Amino acid sequence: MNFILIAVIVLGTIGLIAAIVLFAASKKFAVYEDPRIAQVGELLPGANCGGCGFPGCSGMADALVKGADAGSLDGLMCPVGGAETMGKVADLLGMAIANTEPMVAVVRCNGTCEHRAKIAEYAGLRTCAAMHACGAGETACGFGCLGCGDCVAACQFGAISINPATGIPEVDDEKCTSCGACVKACPRNIIELRKKGPKNRRVFVSCVNKDKGPAAMKACAVSCIGCGKCEKECPFGAITVENNLAYIDHQKCRLCRKCVAVCPKKAIVAVNFPVSKASTTSMSSTTSSSSETSETSERKEEQA
């Protein structure tokens, strides 16, 4: 009898002390968590892929709620869930999403092996970042693609790969989630997120060289020399030339392709337009002649 009593008292006391300690700890170290974070977290895919740029979905949920409190969800995008998920999240948080238009990463360099002569050989660490720190690289163009694939390494979705024939990365439109990891990884800011466009059709300047005309001309056969012809030709005012470089605003561009025809250096590229249509217009010059890469990428993308 005594034996049982002792056991009960001892265990009871231990239980009581533990309960008090736990209660005190939970009061003292209580952390308030916004219940909306958990709700948003449930809407997200839960794949923890990191494509949004945050460490996992809970990080994204946290950022979304904070963004909503700050009054804007701009720049926050779940690449996996897409517009649908973001719409639900926005409803929950009572926000409107400004930009749910599908975007895609675009590589703005066409300096393939045949367009850009090699003037040197790089013998160091084979990453773009190291090569960029070393100087212009193996060619005379100090702005163009280095071809070591930092963007490929950065892509979580296997959407970007170096084409062995050209040495330039290519983006798979279907796999690209427009998370922007490659944009950050590229030391030369060649990759840009642009509107995916109807039927993946896009027109863009495939060059980021800011050298003056003669220097750019010497460095690469398809470099933009900032001549301004496209700027004058564009009926929608979508093209601006700054620092010897033309840029097409993808929000204003209506894909008329007039600029493609006038570019003397074939630096403006139109992708995913049907070839037959192109032959009737002045487009023919682009697709038939020097921009072979855009053609191959077109074909690839059509197959995909």
Partner 1 sequence: MGKLIVSLSPHAHSRDSIERNMYGVIIALMPALLASFYFFGLGSVIVTVTSVAACCFFEWAICKYILKKESTLRDGSAIITGLLLAFNLPSNLPIWIILIGALFAIGVAKMTFGGLGNNIFNPALVGRAALLVAFPAQMTTWPKIGQWDTYLDAETGATPLSIVSSAIRTGDVSVLDQLPSSFELFLGSSSGGAGAMGEICGLALLFGLAFMLYNRIITWHIPVSIMGTAFVFSGLLHLANPVYPDPVSVLLTGGLLLGAIFMATDYVTSPMTPKGQLIYGVAIGFLTVVIRNWGAYPEGMSFAILIMNAFTPLINNYVKPKRFGEVAK
Partner 2 sequence: MKIKTFSMGGIHPEENKLTHEVPTIVAELPKQAIFPLSQHIGAPAKPVVAKGDKVKVGTLIAEAGGFVSAPIFSSVSGTVFKIDTAIDATGYRKPVIIINVEGDEWEESIDRSNKLELVENHPDLTPEEIVNRIKNAGVVGMGGACFPTFIKLTPPPTAKAECVIINAVECEPYITADYRLMMERSDEILVGLELLMMGAKVTKGYIGIETNKPAAIELLTEKCAKKFSGTKYQVEVVPLKQRYPQGGEKQLVDAVIQRQVPAPPAIPVNVGAIVQNVGTAFAVYEAVMKNKPLFERYTTVTGKKLTNPGNFQVRMGTPMKNLIDACGGMPEGDNKLLAGGPMMGKALTSTEVPICKGTNSVTIISDDEARRKEPQPCIRCAKCVGVCPMGLEPYLLAKLSEVKNWERAESEDITSCIECGSCHYTCPAYRPLLDNIRLGKATVMGIIRSRAAKK
Known binding residues for [4Fe-4S] cluster: 49, 52, 57, 78, 141, 145, 148, 151, 155, 176, 179, 182, 186
157: partner contacted, choices partner 2, partner 1, none (Cβ within 5-8 A by kind): none
Pick from 24, 120, 153, 304: which binds partner 1 (CB under 8 A)?
Answer: 120
Take residue 141 and report the two structure tokens written for it. Answer: 């163009």
Q: CB neighbours of 67 closer than 8 A, spacing ≥ 6? A: 73, 74, 76
Residue 283: count other Cβ atoms within 10 Å of its Cβ: 18
Cα 223 from Cα 149, distance rounded (Å): 21
Contact (CB, 8 A) for 58 and 47: no
Take residue 194 and report the two structure tokens written for it. Answer: 């642009």
Q: To the nearest whole angstrom, how small is the minimum distance from the Cβ of residue 216 to partner 2? A: 10
Contact range with partner 1 by CB under 8 A, out of 19-27, 75-83, 104-112, 115-123: 115-123
6: partner contacted, choices partner 2, partner 1, none (Cβ within 5-8 A by kind): none
Pick from 94, 121, 198, 303: which binds partner 1 (CB under 8 A)?
Answer: 121
Residue 94, burial from CB neighbour count under 10 angstroms (0-12, 13-18, 19+): exposed
* DSSP summary character for residue 169: E
Per CB under 8 A, which of residues 142..181 are in contact with partner 2?
Answer: 142
Q: To the nearest whole angstrom, how small is the minimum distance from the Cβ of residue 83 to partner 1? A: 43
* Total number of residues that touch partner 1 (CB under 8 A): 13
Q: To the nearest whole angstrom, how small is the minimum distance from the Cβ of residue 181 to partner 1? A: 25
Q: To the nearest whole angstrom, how small is the minimum distance from the Cβ of residue 103 to partner 2? A: 24
* DSSP summary character for residue 276: H
Contact range with partner 1 by CB under 8 A, out of 60-68, 133-141, 155-163, 251-259: 133-141
Q: Is 229 helix (H, G, I), strand (E, B) or coil?
A: helix
Contact (CB, 8 A) for 180 and 172: no
Pick from 39, 88, 122, 215: which binds partner 1 (CB under 8 A)?
Answer: 122
Per CB under 8 A, which of residues 114..133 are in contact with partner 2?
Answer: 119-121, 123-125, 127, 129-130, 133
Take residue 296 and report the two structure tokens written for it. Answer: 């191959």
Region label for 94, one of left (φ > 0), alpha (ψ between -120 and 50) or beta (otherwise)? left
Q: Which residues bind partner 2 (CB under 8 A)?
A: 119-121, 123-125, 127, 129-130, 133-136, 140, 142, 211-212, 215
